[in-house]
Structure 1
Amino acid sequence: MFGFKVVRQNHVGLIETLGKYRREVDAGLSFYVPMFQKVRIVDLAMIPLSLKGYSVITKDNAEVQTNVTLNYHVTDARKFEYENSNSVESMVQLVRGHLHDIIGKIDLNEALGSTSKINADLANAIGDLTNTYGIKVDRVNIDELKPSASITESMEKQIRADREKTAAIAKANGEARSIEIETKARNDATVSTAKAQAEATIARADAKAYEIKKLNDMLASADSKYFTDQQIQAFADLANSAANTVVMSKEDIGKYSEIPVTAQVMNQISNK
């Protein structure tokens, strides 16, 4: 008496006779002896697997939680079923061990910022597991690297401290810059005022010097008649004033008395 088994597409059948592997059959219809034989079906399609909440320690002793997803498929059904009691679990343990080694060689900041490199290193470390477990890992990816709650809190405190420090430095720099600008403005104003005053003083001195020079030039070019006329005018003003005393040297009295107009003025002064 024979039985038959339909093996689906992308699967293989492993026929066991009295519990011992006998042969492998491909997809399609297969016959076997029900009392003595058994058909074990193995899926060859790609299978996704998620590894969540795996804890690893970085080089600087920081604990991080990792979530890893991978895709694998069976490449050797006989090794997959018979040479390991649980080939999938063996593969998972291998992935976790390599992940622990890779992350354990780098510090927390580097681990958080280089997941793509960790993915590549992990894929190279796993390699082809066909000869060992009859499995090939097609893709492995670290979906999340999350520090522990205590480390996350410490990082947040550090970030806040850095922000506050940066803000304090910026404020201090702004105030210092404002004081610098204000001081420079006051100094510039003081210098400008002093410069203007100095220029004004120089201008007044130049004007006075020019006035004196012109007066000296005029006096140098005037003849004796001019001075005599000025003296006569002075005597005339004196005659019309309330003064009645003129102090003169003997020589000046003789000189001015020779001038008729001056003599007349002197007589007017004497009669007061």
Structure 2
Amino acid sequence: MKRRSALFTPLAAALTLLASFGPSLHAADGPALTAADLASRMNAIRVDGTSFVRLRMEINGGGSIQIQAKQRMTQGGSDVVYQILFPKERKGESVLLRKPSSGAATGTVYLPPDTLKPLTAAEMKNGLFGSDLTHEDVMENFFAWSQQTLVGTEDIGRISCQILESKPSVSDRSSYASVRTWIDPRRMVPMRVEKNNASGSVLVRIETLSVAKDDLGREVPSSVHIARAGITGKGTTLDGSRIKHGVTLTDADFTPDALKSLSAPK
């Protein structure tokens, strides 16, 4: 079964980046990789053009919601539309999120039948559909931040991972002081992501629960769990059920008015 979570696609950034060089690592059967190489390769997975995704989100162990996502990922920026398909009472709730290659992300919320509302900067820190994954988390491109450093190795389960630490510049406008990613260098899969404040305390942790191949034959997270510090509950789980790349999407698909339509792209 080819499955892919929509989560890690928008978490990466554009191919071009200015990264600091640190200790090197070896991918299986490949040359040594620096921190800059590793961040660049993770970004390459992200810049994959247009795609259409179906996924299931379970929030704090309660009932699940089914979502479709229209995505356009380019070196110039990211555009994503998330829309609830189920349950019936929430069908049509939609969010448009946009992030240029430089500058802050913006968003618009649609609540049927006719409420359109732009998200304020403060509301970008709210959870997507009430989940533990904020609008900012979805669009943040920490692999493109200017400081990339390898800070160690650690096993996640039986998988030996390299730990990449990413730090933002002022222009990156992040709520976090640093992000650490545990990367399986053989498959180029992020197994864990921790976002930290200035004192190094973990504010949000994202764990990969399972990995599968997408429609392009790449191994990617198919199920992930998100937990935020200071929030009681079981966190949020995302399970990808289907992804299709190369779908037809235009600028018109990423406008506030487009949120009113649940049609799937061609």
TM, length-normalised to structure 1: 0.20
Structure 2-normalised TM-score? 0.21
Name which structure has the greater RCO, CA cutoff 8 Å, separation 6+.
2
Whichever of the two has the greater Rg, that structure is 1
| Bigger helix fraction | 1
Higher strand share: 2
